[in-house]
Structures are given as C-alpha cells and as structure tokens.
Amino acid sequence: MASSALPRLLAGAADVIPRDGLQEKLSLDRPLRVKLGIDPSRPDLHLGHAVVLRKLRHFQDAGHVAVLIVGDFTGRVGDPSGQSETRPFLTEEEIETNATTYLEQAGTVLDVSSAEVRRNSEWLAGMGMADVLRLTSAYTVARMLERDDFRKRYEEGKPISVVEFLYPLMQAMDSVAVGSDVELGGTDQTFNLLMGREIQRDYGQAPQAVVTVPLLVGTDGREKMSKSLGNAIGFRDPPTEMFGRVMSIPDGIIADWFRLATDLPPERAAREAAQAAREAKAALGRAIVRRYHGEEAARAASDEFDRVFRDKGLPDEIPELALGVDEVEPDGVWIVRALQRAGLAASGSAARRLLREGGVRVDGDRVGDEQTRLAPGATYLIQVGKRHFHRVTVPAS
C-alpha cells in the first residue's frame, strides 16, 4: 500500500489533482477505495474505455478496492460532458441491458469478481426534495457555466436542461455514498471528478484525489474514440476485423496506441512503435487482438491480413447475401441499395460517399457511378476498402 506503488499507479496518467493527492492517500497505509463510474448509455465497450479500466486494474493489482459504480440512475439522463445538445432519456430496460453487457466486457480487463459493484440508484432514487435542495445549494449556476460545453451551448442559445446541471452533482453524490478515496476518469471528466471533491467536503468527508487518463484517439486519427463517430474498435469485434482496423490507423497515432491500448511494458511499447509503420501496426494489432481474443486468434488474424492484402488473396470466409425476387427491378439492383443490404454502408448517403471516393469494387473492378445497377441472375463479389467483402446474389426477376 505504500508510496512505492506510486510510479506504477501514475504510469500513463494525464493528471493528478491535487498534485500530491495520490501520495497523501497512499500514506494512509490502508487499501484505498478507488471509484470509477460508468453510465451504461451504449451496450458495447471499446478500446477507449479500456484505458481507464486498465488504470483501475493497476490499483487492484496494488491491493486497493475497485469500486465500480454502474450509473443506472444517472444513466437515465446521460453525461452531458462534451455534448452539444441535450441527450434523450434512456428507458430502464435499455439501461439494464447495457449495464449487464458492460460488466461482462469490463471483465476482460478488470477483476470484476473482486470489485465492489454498486448501482447509484441505491442512494439517488430515494433522495427526497430536501436532500436535493441541500445538494444543489452546494454549487452555483455561475460555476456550472464555467464548463466549456455548458458555456458554449449557453452562448449559442442552445437549451441546457436543469437535469443536466444535476448530473455532475448526482455523480458527486456517488463519491459521498461510497466514501471514495480516489476517483478515475478521462480528461473530459475533470469537471465532474472535481465536483466530487467539492461535495464530499460539503458532506464532511475528506475529498477524494482525482486521477485522469488521456483520451484514446479513434481510428480516424482526429476525434476521440466513439461508436457514434464510427472510429471505434469494440471489445467484441471479431479478431480479423479488430486487426484490420488497427492496420488502418494513421501512422501519427501508433505510439499513443501502444501506450494507451496495450498492456506492453513501456520500454517494449516504445521499441515496437519505433519500427517501420507497417511492422509497428502489425505488432500493435497482434497485441490488441491477443488482449481480447488470445494468442491463437492474434496470430490467425495477422496471417489472414497478410494473405488477403499483402498476397492479394481473398478471406477464407466471405459473408453471403441472397436478395429476394421482390427486391429486384427489371434492370437489376441499385448498387447503393446492395451496399446497404450487405451491411457495407450504414446509409444511402454513406454508400454514395464510398462510391464517390473510389472505395467500392465489384468483381475486382472499381465502381464510382452512383447509378450502377447489378444485373439480375448473377452473384457479385463486392469489396469496400481493403478489408470488407460480401457476395451478393441478385436473382432473376
């Protein structure tokens, strides 16, 4: 429990508030209660979530208590951090489904069996009006508007619900309820985490130390990883898909991904990242697939990628789709429709963009004309980008 564990616990952290806060907590010479809150707003975890889960695992490995807060109550609202508009409310059924899958997936990084798992409805659902009034009296609207996202929306005349103002206060009450010594979160959560310190102090508790971790940039190399932006790699993505998406990342983020998305020791991660980009990405892809699917899957995904893209082969398994007769017009099927039905494009606009950008091939030939039709009575091999293949059968009309 001593401060000798400090370097390991601080490795990869973006900030510690206050600067000597974690060292002071460790000097208590007892297992610390280390809190991480997750709002089950989506059913899947991605590599961005793993950064903070891995840091919580470091605390577990050092003998501290991981307190995992499932935000089944706050999740009804959704965290307003970084949002440009009010989020829709989730139903209790959606929250429960997402929470279950979250915990299952978190177990690939965290020792969930030894963690203290709590749901914040335990204390938030029973709060009466007097409790809410006491909580809200601890903070001012002016301080809330210091948040970049709230201030920007206020200046742009976009609505901010009172419920959203309550969100950071409710999350802070989580820290009070579980007696948090340390709270972890991404750098985009700093405001909420510091609110926990304020409210703990107001409720007569020693304020928690705050440890933030960097945000993992997504596969596009620009925005933080997010399922909604389409730049995420999920814990449950198939090995070949996971490996292929790693191989597509921009060269400039390879070193950060080695540091934030793998379990490799810092010295080895730095050596791997220093290789030529192709070799570095392959090593990165194997390390990530190994973490979530095992050594055999990592080796197979790497071999498959080489066979398909370096050796110009085709995947061993290509999904197939047989369209119905009622989907075929006399002159065939519109290529945009075929891309959507095969799951190669999420929408018509996405399909048209792929065609304009030259990212679609049919039977090996590049197709850029948005009006292309696939003639009836044939099977076509459709390829999008370097990794996505689908055989589509168009029946005779």
Q: What pLDDT is attached to residue 315?
A: 79
Split at pLDDT 50, 70, 90, the class of 397 is low
- Which among 172, 197, 213 is the end of a domain? 213
Long-range CB pairs of 363-371, under 8 A, 24+ apart, other chains included = 367/335, 369/335, 370/335, 370/336, 371/334, 371/335
Least confident of 146-155, 194-203, 316-325, 340-349: 146-155
Q: What pLDDT is attached to residue 290?
A: 96
Q: What pLDDT is attached to residue 378?
A: 81
b/e per residue 366-387 (b: at least 16 CB within 10 A): ebeeeebbbebeeebebbbeeb
Question: Is the domain of 36 the same as that of 160?
Answer: yes
pLDDT digits (tens, 9 = 90+) for 279-310: 999 999 999 999 999 999 999 999 988 887 76
Q: What is the mean pLDDT of residues 337-347?
A: 92
Q: What is the mean pLDDT of residues 228-255?
A: 90
Range of the domain at 57: 3-213
Q: What pLDDT is attached to residue 185?
A: 95
Contact 52, 27 (CB under 8 A): no
Question: Is the domain of 156 the same as that of 250?
Answer: no
Q: What pLDDT is attached to residue 84?
A: 44
CATH number at residue 386: 3.10.290.10
Closest by Cα among 34, 321, 12 to 179: 34
> Is the residue at 220 inside a domain?
no
> Is the residue at 222 inside a domain?
no
Split at pLDDT 50, 70, 90, the class of 11 is confident
Question: Is the domain of 295 the same as that of 344?
Answer: no
Q: What pLDDT is attached to residue 77?
A: 63
**Looking at the predicted structure, is the pLDDT value of residue 312 above 80?**
no
- Give the Cα separation of 289 and 281 in Å (integer): 12
Question: Is the domain of 245 the same as that of 207?
Answer: no
Bigger pLDDT: 234 vs 386: 234
**Looking at the predicted structure, is the pLDDT value of residue 68 above 90?**
yes
Question: Is the domain of 130 the same as that of 155?
Answer: yes
> Is the residue at 301 inside a domain?
yes
Q: What pLDDT is attached to residue 225?
A: 92
Q: What pLDDT is attached to residue 81?
A: 52
> Is the residue at 225 inside a domain?
no
**Looking at the predicted structure, is the pLDDT value of residue 86 above 50?**
no
Q: What pLDDT is attached to residue 2?
A: 55
Alpha helix (H) residue ranges in the chain: 6-10, 21-26, 47-61, 92-106, 121-124, 129-136, 141-144, 148-155, 162-178, 190-202, 239-247, 254-261, 266-273, 277-293, 295-305, 335-341, 348-356
Question: Is the domain of 61 the same as that of 154?
Answer: yes
**Looking at the predicted structure, is the pLDDT value of residue 73 above 90?**
no
- Which among 310, 333, 366 is the end of a domain? 310
Closest by Cα among 241, 242, 240 to 262: 242
How many domains is the chain partitioned into structurally?
3
Question: Is the domain of 346 the same as that of 246?
Answer: no
Looking at the chain, the whole-number percentage of residues with pLDDT higher than 70 is: 95
Q: What pLDDT is attached to residue 79?
A: 54
Question: Is the domain of 168 the same as that of 305?
Answer: no
**Looking at the predicted structure, is the pLDDT value of residue 230 above 70?**
yes
Question: Is the domain of 197 the same as that of 250?
Answer: no
Split at pLDDT 50, 70, 90, the class of 78 is low
> Is the residue at 223 inside a domain?
no
CATH number at residue 129: 3.40.50.620
Q: What is the mean pLDDT of residues 251-260?
A: 94
Split at pLDDT 50, 70, 90, the class of 88 is low
**Looking at the predicted structure, is the pLDDT value of residue 85 above 50?**
no
